[in-house]
Structure 1
Amino acid sequence: MVEKKFTIESSQGLHARPASVLVNHVTNFEGDVMVHYNGQSINLKSIMGIMGLAISQGAEIKVTAEGEKEEEIMESLEDVLKEQELVKN
């Protein structure tokens, strides 16, 4: 299992549009990708679960990936977070 912490920089937080991009991205991978925030752990393949977390600007989240290509998943997920301007480079 690999894990990484991110601070959400977007003034709108993790809102619907980038959340759907993230969900669509990780759906292509085998394995488990989880977002941990405010004492909750949600599968990143669940748009409703992610939206339910109501992750706002300045929030620190932890993402974990477990599976055959977990390193690749985490690297590509970080790229998507940057492309969606949720985190800084």
Structure 2
Amino acid sequence: MRRSPPLKARRRLPASSPAPAISPKVVILGHYSRHGYIAEVLGLPVPGPGESVSARLAPAGPQHAGKPRVELEGRRWVLAKASDPEVAVPKLPEI
């Protein structure tokens, strides 16, 4: 889990620069109300205006008993443990 710096503190790239690669194995939760709900349920800091929080998720399984979980794209997800394999994460709701 990593909390991103406020937008003002991030380095800006020229519009003609290619977008930096974002790992399909990490979710980035922003200031959307639904993202705040997901962060809160998973026990992450809730992003404020201009903030984001990133985390690696894993499909919920028996080894995650008792861990908080959210349902995304019809599947239950938990914060990944170091021992969980890296998997592509679901698309997050925008609102």
If asked which structure has higher relative contact order (CA below 8 Å, sep 6+), I would say: 1
Higher Rg of the two aligned structures? 2
Normalised by the length of structure 1, the TM-score is 0.29
Normalised by the length of structure 2, the TM-score is 0.28
Structure with the bigger percentage of strand? 1
Structure with the bigger percentage of helix? 1
